[in-house]
Structure formats: C-alpha cells, structure tokens
Amino acid sequence: MIERHLARLRSRHEVSEADVALIRGAIGEMRECPAGKTIIEAGKRLESSTLLIDGLMCRYKDMRDGQRQIAEIHVPGDFLDLHSYTLKQLDHNVLSLTPCRVVVLAHADIRRITRASEQLAFLYWFSTNLDASIHREWVVSLGRRDALSRAAALFCELQARLEIVGLAGPTGFDLALNQIELAECLGLTSVHVNRTLKQLRERALVTFRQGRVTIHDLPGLRRVAEFDPAYLYLGKQPG
C-alpha cells in the first residue's frame, strides 16, 4: 500500500524495518477520491496529514479573477500536506487531478512516530524541505524561463520524480493532465501551452498527448529546460 512512499524514502535515505513498522502502524484506512475534488481547503484546521497512494494531485491558489496557479504537482508516494503537521492549517488548497487513493495519518500519530524514531523525524523534515526546494525551482522557472523551457522543465521534473516510484522510464510516463491544468502550472494560458507543446513536438523533444508524455530526446529536453536535477536531491543523501 505505501510501497511507493517507502521507495521514495529509500531512494534517498536508509530506512530501518523498525521505522517501516512505525509508519505502517500510523496509517489509517485507504480512501478513494474522484478527480477534480478539492480535498484540502486553505485555512481549515487540520488534524491529520494525507499520503498519496495513487493518482495525481496538486497544490494551488486561486486569484480573485478566477485565475489559478498550481504550486506543485504531487505524485504517488508524496505527502500532500505533511507541512500541516506544524502549520495546522494551510495557505493553499489541494486538488485531485485524477481519481486518487490516499491514506491518512493523524498528527498525533506523526508525533508519536517521530518521537519514537529520530530518523523518521529527520526524514519527514527532509521531505518538507524537498517540497520547498521544488517550489524554489518553480519560482526560477516562472521568473526566468520562457514558455518553451518552462514546459520542458516541468516534464523533466516529473520524469525524474515519477522514475523514483517506478512510474516513469527515460522515454516517457503517463500524465493525466489537460492543457488547462498544464497552463495553471506554467503561469500561461492554455492557448499558449498548446502552441508550446506543438513546438516541443516539432523539435522532436517531447510529445504530450492524451495523458501520455513521450520523451523523444531526454538530453535535448534537459538542455532546453536548463534542467539541473540537484534540486530534487536524487540518490542516496549524506547523513
């Protein structure tokens, strides 16, 4: 059930069997969730954190005029709102982009297991710091990349993150988003995303069609994106 979460943790750090047992002991029952549902609302008091088992979700904020900005895409194995453990309420919403399955961990249980294991406390702090690192890279993308390299950077990030949990290879992955949602990630309009995707296709870098990303030239894509995976802290980490 939480295999992808464990794969994610273990891709970067050692996780003992005792720690795995603690995590397993803390998780609640599995819940299903349809696509397009805001499962966490900004400003609401939270008493638990949610782990994504299957599907895609995102963190977003709405503007007054109805525009939306997505701040992070979540893939299976990610916590959606581990930061609510310290923040108690969130500054953003969380939305399911596809039908999803999740499990819930009560904050009391997170407290219990991070008390019981210094390593788990460390891993989960790391995990929220990794979210922050991803946010920073998006700041750079939105601030300094043009539409083409911005889109390329997003595909590179998702390829790398999905690969960790076994959901992507070097030649592609499933990504059940539409162009509107892509635009909400990239700070563009869906019309311009459409033209940008066309360019990426014509340059034989990547094709995005019907919820599937097909990568024709990963090195080329990374070059266009100016993609440096350092911000994802891939591979075994020190400490």
Partner DNA sequence: CGCACTCTTGATGGTCATCAAGACGGGTGG
Partner DNA sequence: CCACCCGTCTTGATGACCATCAAGAGTGCG
- Closer of 31 and 198 to DNA (Cβ): 198
Give the residue, chosen from 89, 191, 212, 219, that forms a contact with DNA under the rule CB under 7 A.
191
Tokens of 113: 């297991």
CB 104 within 8 Å of CB 28: yes
Q: Is 224 exposed, middle or buried (0-12, 13-18, 19+ CB in 10 A)?
A: buried
Task: Give the C-alpha separation, 89 to 174, whole Å.
Answer: 32
Helix boundaries (H) for the chain: 3-12, 17-26, 84-87, 107-116, 118-144, 147-164, 179-186, 190-202, 218-225
Q: Which of the residues 75 through 104 are near DNA (CB under 7 A)?
A: none
Q: Which of the residues 128 through 187 are near DNA (CB under 7 A)?
A: 146-148, 178-180, 187
Q: Which of the residues 66 through 105 are near a second copy (CB under 8 A)?
A: 67-69, 71-72, 83, 85-89, 91-92
Give the residue, chosen from 187, 189, 201, 234, that forms a contact with a second copy under the rule CB under 8 A.
187
Taking CB under 7 A as the rule, does residue 190 contact DNA? yes
- Closer of 53 and 185 to DNA (Cβ): 185
State the minimum distance, in angstroms, from the CB of residue 78 to DNA: 23
Q: Which of the residues 133 through 162 are near a second copy (CB under 8 A)?
A: 133, 135-140, 142-145
Taking CB under 8 A as the rule, does residue 43 contact a second copy? yes
State the minimum distance, in angstroms, from the CB of residue 126 to DNA: 33
Give the residue, chosen from 86, 89, 194, 237, that forms a contact with DNA under the rule CB under 7 A.
194
Taking CB under 7 A as the rule, does residue 216 contact DNA? no
Phi, psi (deg, nearest 5) at residue 201: -70, -50
State the minimum distance, in angstroms, from the CB of residue 164 to a second copy: 17
Give the residue, chosen from 19, 131, 157, 181, that forms a contact with a second copy under the rule CB under 8 A.
131
- Closer of 60 and 85 to DNA (Cβ): 60
- Mark residue 229 as left, alpha or beta (left: phi above 0; alpha: psi -120 to 50; beta: remaining): alpha
120 SS3 class: helix
Sheet of 100-106: strands edge to edge?
27-33, 100-106, 48-54
CB 55 within 8 Å of CB 38: no
Taking CB under 8 A as the rule, does residue 181 contact a second copy? no
Q: Which residues here bind DNA, judged by CB under 7 A?
A: 146-148, 178-180, 187-192, 194-198, 209
